[in-house]
Chains A and B, each alone.
Chain A
């Protein structure tokens, strides 16, 4: 299996070439946000206020890390399930969000918005949180510190392992992969 190395932020041409099933190592910086941070960001937009960071071209990692122990940049930090963010995602894609890292299926509305705005959905392995944390070299809270683990962090990552789950054409590894191994009919 070929592995593609990508430096963040994402480039439109690179996104266009990525295909569901591609194995990717990401390096550079990204932002974290999960349920509570998404709710706050959308509330800010509703009030006409700016987002706490410039979302254009950025990647959001759906994660609420464990606290960092002494000597660590971050505690265990695997992906959370993405569908809980689906209600908020099309609006963020509309504002220029280019990539998401999480686990699990997305809604049709999210996939449509990804196709419209040339965005990509990566998967990190759910539960591989201690392994993933070793690829996060720096972490800093940049917004909503009162939310604790749910605050928005900026992570510096190096060779962070992901797989393209849904590409900018809407090809979906959660449909393609299981179809190859299905023997039980419902």
Chain B
């Protein structure tokens, strides 16, 4: 049994959110440069230039890449041989969020109740926490700051087995087409196929944090990722949605077992400011 203090979790979560909101990943910058060389639209190239410059300013000045510093999603793989002491696990995570959003001058974008009063909680808590118990004595924490321009354009559909591969493609392309300029293209698509209603959505969300240079290890799904990416970039939406052939930087798909009657598909859209960071305690 290894001991990890609640304070260690708080510090880790705080530092991860400070980093995620200020520093874009090298995998994202590399994709920007790759697509900029291929972009046919002059104004599209100008938009990509602006975004590259924006990300440099954010890193140099230690300011957030985007003013929508998002709702905090935290994925934890908690080793079963870890004992958390001096505080409770979820409160420790929320304290990390609170400290990061205060110290980083990040926007507090969470309301405590969604329908009647919508009062801002003023510290960007609560975080959305997904915990898995895994073998070992480590705690792996992955954080993502999810902006709602793109979250609002995400969609889930309970397809039926007869819809098949064509049905999946159609749903994904329609979702991206309907989103148009709203989710801040170039976007990153996380797609979850299979499972139950909520599991498909969770798979899709996890996919948005996959490094952009990694494909699904199953060649059939990797091929589908590639085909969808090409078709999406043929929609013409382009950078900022004003025309061009850089609509998406990556399509990441994951799948899991599902029911004999079902084919759930979840499409989680992430904007070009793909903010996530991870660390192991």
Listed in ascending order, the chain A residues whose CB lies under 8 Å from chain B are 1, 21, 23, 36, 63-69, 72, 75-78, 80-81, 83, 103-105, 123, 125-134, 147-150, 161, 163, 165, 173-174, 176-184, 186
B107 engages A163 (CB within 8 Å): no
Task: Choose from A66, A69, A148, A182 the contact partner of B235 (Cβ within 8 Å).
Answer: A182
Contact call A163/B242, Cβ cutoff below 8 A: yes
Closest 7 CB pairs of A and B: A177-B243, A184-B234, A182-B236, A126-B184, A178-B236, A181-B236, A183-B234
Q: Is the CB of B241 within 8 A of A125?
A: no
Asked if B177 is an interface residue, CB under 8 A from chain A, the answer is yes
Query: Beta-carbon contacts of B83-115 to A below 8 Å, as 1s and 0s?
Result: 000000000000000000000011111000000
Q: How many residues belonging to B are interface residues under a CB distance threshold of 8 Å?
A: 57
- Confirm or deny: B18 has a beta carbon within 8 angstroms of a beta carbon on chain A: no
Complex alpha-carbon distance, A148 and B110, angstroms: 12
Given A67-B107, A184-B173, A184-B235, residue A127 in contact with residue B243 (CB < 8 A): no
Of all chain A residues, which has the CB nearest B120?
A: A148
18 additional A-B pairs beyond A134-B57, A148-B122, beta carbons within 8 Å, are A1-B42, A23-B43, A65-B107, A69-B105, A103-B149, A103-B184, A104-B181, A104-B182, A125-B51, A127-B271, A132-B54, A133-B63, A161-B50, A163-B242, A178-B238, A179-B243, A180-B41, A181-B238
B273 CB-CB contact with A under 8 Å:
yes
Residue in A68, A127, A163, A174 whose CB lies within 8 Å of B180: A174
Question: Which residues on B sit within 8 Å (CB–CB) of A125?
Answer: 47, 50-51, 54, 240
Residues on A with beta carbons closer than 8 Å to the beta carbon of B238: 177-178, 181
Quick check: B64 and A75 within 8 Å, CB to CB?
A: yes
Once the chains are docked, how many angstroms separate the CA of A147 from the CA of B113?
Answer: 15
Tell me the bound Cα distance from A105 to B181 in angstroms.
Answer: 7
Q: Interface stretch among B65-73, B136-144, B154-162, B254-262?
A: B65-73
Q: Is the CB of A1 within 8 A of B43?
A: yes
Contacts of A148 in B (CB 8 A): 108, 120, 122
Count of CB-CB pairs between chains A and B under 8 Å: 175
User: How far apart are the CA atoms of A81 and B181 in the complex, in Å?
Assistant: 9
Report whether B50 and A76 are in contact in the complex, using a CB–CB cutoff of 8 Å.
no
Task: Scan B225-254; emit 1 where CB is below 8 A from any A CB, else 0.
Answer: 000000111111110111111000000000
Contact A130 B243 (CB under 8 A): no
Which residues of chain A are within 8 angstroms of B241 by Cβ–Cβ distance? 103-104, 174, 177-178
A72 to B67, CA, bound (A): 14
**B180 neighbours in A (Cβ, 8 Å):** 104-105, 174, 178
Structural contact, A69 and B63, CB atoms closer than 8 A? yes
Which residues of A sit under 8 angstroms from B240, Cβ to Cβ? 103, 123, 125-126
Neighbouring A residues of B149 by C-beta, 8 Å = 80-81, 103-104, 126
- Could you tell me if A78 and B66 are in contact, using CB atoms closer than 8 angstroms? yes
Contact (Cβ within 8 A) B108 A184: no
Q: List 12 A-B contacts (CB under 8 A).
A: A23-B43, A66-B67, A76-B66, A103-B149, A104-B182, A104-B241, A126-B271, A129-B66, A148-B120, A150-B120, A178-B235, A184-B235
Q: What residues on B are CB-neighbors of A127 within 8 Å? A: 51, 54, 65-66, 184, 271-273
List the A side residues contacting B223 at CB < 8 Å.
none
B281 within 8 A of A: no
- Pair A75/B63 contact, Cβ less than 8 Å: yes
Q: Which residues of B contact A65 (CB under 8 A)?
A: 67, 107
